[in-house]
Amino acid sequence: MREAIKKLEQLGVAEVRPGGARVLPLEQASLDVVVHLLSLEERPDPEIVDQVLEVLSGLFAMAARLGVARADPAQRSRAASLLTRLEDADLDPDARYAHLQELGDVFVEASGNLVLQLVRGGLQTEAVLDRLLQLREHTDGAAPPPPVDLPLLRRIRDAVAERDGDGAGDAVQRLTLALRRFARETLGAPADEKPTESPRSQR
């Protein structure tokens, strides 16, 4: 019991005081609670999933924007190589996921922004995305793999070559918007409540 209460305190959802523990508002919890929110039920809440993906969309768009503008030649070469592989329409979904994860690592590393690196670690992006990949297991029938927008991948590759950080960020945000829509549809969220693009990405 003590260990359980200690864990709740670490997650920021409880405060231990002499004489007992007090439950804290969820809004005061640490980022570590996100993975647990996604695992509360066998079928994740589509609203929580969408909110997580909305944050990850902004995070990876910022990483792309900063990373592409600041990358050294070796980092640009790694990013271009990964994007070339991702443009293979027949790429295995697991391999595509691994390449996307690595591409995110390259952008975050190239950004040189310590706070961005800490936020990504605090949000446990790998664990969150691993959980979201299980979405297909929670459908009644066989769900298609997440969509792949080859023109957007080419736009990101071109942006890397041209050191166009804004172009890369906008393309990444559009790419993650497609994933958000896929997640909502897979989880059975109403079609008229699909996520929309941010004003910047609508340009």
Tens of pLDDT, residues 152-170: 999 999 999 999 999 999 9
In order of 16, 88, 158, 176, the CA distances from 58 in angstroms are 34, 25, 20, 9
Checking if the pLDDT of 147 tops 50, the result is: yes
pLDDT at residue number 203: 44
45 vs 188: CA distance, rounded Å:
10
* pTM exceeding the 0.85 threshold for the entire prediction: no
Listed in sequence order, the residues at least 6 apart from 102 whose beta carbon sits closer than 8 Å to its beta carbon are 82
- Burial of 113 per CB tally in 10 Å (0-12, 13-18, 19+): middle
- The whole-chain average pLDDT of the chain stands at 78
194 vs 2: CA distance, rounded Å:
42
The per-type count for the chain, helices as H runs and strands as E runs, is: 9, 2
pLDDT at residue number 193: 54
Between 183 and 147, name the one with better pLDDT. 183
Question: Structural domain boundaries of the chain?
Answer: 1-30, 31-202
pLDDT at residue number 94: 77
Question: What token pair was written down for 33?
Answer: 């609670």
- Average pLDDT rounded to a whole number, residues 123-127: 70
pLDDT at residue number 89: 81
Single-letter code of the amino acid located at 182:
F
Percent of the chain clearing pLDDT 70 (strictly above): 62
Query: Among residues 101, 8, 17, 22, which one has the least CA distance to residue 60?
Result: 101
Answer for the pair 56, 125: CB distance below 8 angstroms, yes or no.
Answer: yes
- Average pLDDT rounded to a whole number, residues 12-32: 62
Checking if the pLDDT of 54 tops 60, the result is: yes
In order of 7, 10, 15, 76, the CA distances from 19 in angstroms are 18, 18, 11, 57
What is the CATH class of 31-202? mainly alpha
